[in-house]
Structure 1
């Protein structure tokens, strides 16, 4: 007589949860180089905006800049 092992309820539930967890994981397709370029671009834009605001406030105060 050959005994066939059937999955118990807990094994079935565990496998369903594993499959659900693996389905939720998203893969990050952004490379490290792209992240660094993005951060540098954001910092550059912030610095340009700060300098522009500084010069704008000086020009409104009546200071000749150039």
Structure 2
């Protein structure tokens, strides 16, 4: 016959606390993450364009 043992409530709570201790809360929503990544990409593109125009202006070309 199989022997079924019940886990005490305090042991069950300790195990649950140990599992939950390693989890972290992430309060940043998916929408905010997407907006942040898009903002970083836009800033990078603007910086590349500014560097390109700066190098052309230093080369003596009239841009505007």
Question: Normalising to structure 2: TM-score of the pair?
Answer: 0.72
What residue ranges of structure 2 are gaps of 5+ in the alignment? none
Question: Normalising to structure 1: TM-score of the pair?
Answer: 0.70
Give the aligned CA root-mean-square deviation in angstroms.
Answer: 2.6
- TM superposition outliers: structure 1 runs of 4+ over 3 Å: 12-18
Aligned length: 59
3-state secondary structure, aligned to 2:41: helix
What residue ranges of structure 1 are gaps of 5+ in the alignment? none
